[in-house]
Amino acid sequence: MSQQKKPAVWIPQYLLLSVVWGASFAFTEAGLEVFTPLGITAIRHVMGALALLIVVALMGKWQALFRLPKLLLQRMIVVSLLLNVIPAYLFAFAQNLVSTVVASIVNSATPILTLLMIWLVFRSEKITALQVTGIFVGLIGGLLALGISPGSLGDNDPLGVAAVLLAITCYGFAIPYVRKYVTPLSSETTLLATSQVAIASVILIVLYSLESLANQAWILNPPSSNQLWQILVLGIGTGIAYIWHFQVIERAGSAVASTITYPTLLVSLLIGVIALGEAFDLQMAIGAGLIVLGSWITQQRRA
């Protein structure tokens, strides 16, 4: 009977992650009007770390945060680099060169990279034929939804596309790394997320300070009130979302966690249509349906 209830433990977090990360592309666009790519990456992580530290304090786990094992902290540095510092900067950098929709569609290939890493590097989780089918159904849906044809990226800058590909390669390695080397050492997802984002924020703020001193400027343009609230939401979401991310990885596995990029893409499409007034045609509707279907199939655990 306990197995019947298990999916409900991680599905809410999975859905919340989709909303937060799906909206993050639009919020990052707003941030890039105020900060450099490195700047918005640093600011969102500092804000995320502060939000998580408040959560830790309210939960009465402040002392436990500073008692995490040395081995765990060393591994969290790797996680911070591969899940935060490098990919977050690369996505922000890419969004100055390619459209948000292209960044979203390339991001939807994360499960493919994750599976390759699981099979070729970690060999730690059994991936069923059904899960593989779901991943490819979702990927095809993503390509269809955004009108990307084989061998054609349209008018997008190849450097921007390469940056996103490198970012999701980091994700592909980091997700199974967390499952194999991090979550076995601690089940305290809030402490794991806090240490991850805090380490990333320290690294990023140092890099951003050096960049700002070199450029003799901390911001590109004064922020409007609308931009400020979007950056605030982006920062808080950056922190809280990683609590849910650890929970999904721990409870559902790396393959399922990587499929978050599919409903994330769907959320990005909806925001584009409703908030930004972008076109939504039959091809995009069919593709979006395949994304949902692929995500659902991949969550099934039967071989």
Distance in angstroms (rounded) separating the CA atoms of residues 94 and 167:
10
| pLDDT value of residue 191 | 93
| pLDDT value of residue 147 | 65
Query: Where does the pLDDT of residue 232 fall: very low under 50, low under 70, confident under 90, or very high at 90 and above?
Result: very high
Helices 282-298 + 129-145 axis angle, to 10: 160
Asked if residues 250 and 242 have their Cβ atoms less than 8 Å apart, the reply is no
Mean pLDDT value across residues 93-113: 79
Q: What is the pLDDT of residues 203-223, one digit of tens each?
A: 999 999 999 999 888 888 898
Q: What is the pLDDT of residues 14-43, one digit of tens each?
A: 889 889 888 888 888 889 999 999 999 999
| pLDDT value of residue 1 | 43
Write down the mean pLDDT value for the chain. 83
Distance in angstroms (rounded) separating the CA atoms of residues 172 and 113:
5
Q: What is the pLDDT of residues 152-186, one digit of tens each?
A: 555 557 788 889 889 989 998 898 898 889 988 88
| pLDDT value of residue 295 | 66
Mean pLDDT value across residues 269-294: 72
Q: Is the pLDDT of residue 290 over 60?
A: yes
In angstroms, the Cα distances linking 214 to 88, 160, 204, 207 are 21, 24, 15, 11
Token readout for 32 is: 């890039």
Q: What is the pLDDT of residues 105-161, one digit of tens each?
A: 778 777 777 777 877 777 666 777 887 887 788 778 777 765 666 555 555 577 888
Q: Is 54 left (phi over 0), alpha (psi -120 to 50) or beta?
A: alpha
Q: CA geometry: angle at 39 spanning 232 and 29, to 5°? A: 60
Q: Find the radius of gyration of the CA atoms of the chain.
A: 19
| pLDDT value of residue 52 | 93
| pLDDT value of residue 280 | 63
Mean pLDDT value across residues 65-88: 94
